[in-house]
């Protein structure tokens, strides 16, 4: 099919002109393609991770080993999506001396690396441990983010993440809804 800019355009959902490599708190949501529940189930308001969900959690907690300028805050692995708050912190003097300062990693770089690592590990789990296969791609093409600009917003989002399993029955990502 020939490219038609009137039909084949992708509008960015990112804040225009914002530097997503700058220090700050970011709320992210990443969804499994087709809302397939691959990471476990909710029982009595508690997320019960299966082996795939445990792998997602492990890979998330290892992300600071890959990106030295991030700190992880609250997160939750849900049956078919993932919520987290990550913080990009300023580079330390040692890090600045040892790394190329001109290459600043963005939230998108970090999310993309996480999605890639999880996909590789998930495929390994399908092959070796009979995990449920996925159709085509593991993740939706994009992810959602929100720049956390103040303490009230941080507190509200933290509570949302912590309480997310309790609200699964009404969750927009729940395939039953």
Region 24-168: CATH code: 3.30.70.1290
The CA-to-CA distance between both ends of the chain, in Å, stands at 35
Indicate left, alpha or beta for 112 from its phi (over 0: left) and psi (-120 to 50: alpha): alpha
**Tens digit of each residue's pLDDT, the chain (177 residues):** 565 555 544 554 545 777 888 999 999 999 999 999 999 999 999 999 999 999 999 999 999 999 999 999 999 999 999 999 999 998 544 444 455 554 689 999 999 999 999 999 999 999 999 999 998 999 998 899 999 999 999 999 999 999 999 999 999 999 988
For residue 152, give both structure tokens: 């009230």
**Given 3-state DSSP classes, what are the helix, strand and coil percentages for the chain, each rounded to the nearest 5?**
40, 20, 40
Q: What is the CA 41 to chain-centroid distance, rounded?
A: 18
Domain regions of the chain by residue span: 24-168
Contact assessment for residue 40 and residue 48, using Cβ atoms and an 8 Å cutoff: yes
pLDDT of residue 98: 52
Residues 6+ apart with CB under 8 A from 115: 30, 138, 139, 143
Instruction: Give the burial class of 114: count Cβ atoms within 10 A of its Cβ; 0-12 exposed, 13-18 middle, 19 or more buried.
Output: buried
Q: What is the largest CA-CA distance in the chain?
A: 52
**Number of Cβ within a 10 Å radius of residue 95:** 13
pLDDT of residue 104: 82
pLDDT of residue 19: 80
pTM of structure: 0.85
């Amino acid at each position: 099919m020939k490219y038609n800019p009137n039909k084949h355009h992708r509008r960015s959902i990112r804040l225009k002109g914002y530097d997503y490599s700058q220090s700050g708190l970011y709320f992210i949501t990443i969804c499994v393609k087709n809302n397939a529940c691959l990471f476990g189930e909710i029982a009595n308001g508690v997320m019960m991770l299966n082996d795939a969900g445990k792998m997602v959690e492990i890979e998330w907690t290892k992300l600071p080993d890959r990106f030295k300028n991030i700190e992880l805050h609250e997160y939750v692995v849900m049956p078919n999506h993932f919520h987290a708050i990550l913080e990009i912190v300023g580079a330390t003097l040692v890090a600045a001396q040892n790394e190329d300062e001109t290459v600043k990693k963005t939230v998108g770089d970090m999310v993309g690396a996480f999605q890639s690592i999880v996909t590789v590990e998930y495929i390994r789990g399908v092959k070796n441990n009979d995990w449920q296969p996925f159709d085509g791609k593991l993740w939706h093409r994009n992810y959602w983010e929100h720049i956390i600009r103040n303490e009230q917003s941080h507190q509200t989002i933290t509570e949302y993440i912590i309480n997310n399993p309790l609200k699964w029955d009404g969750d927009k990502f729940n395939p039953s809804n």
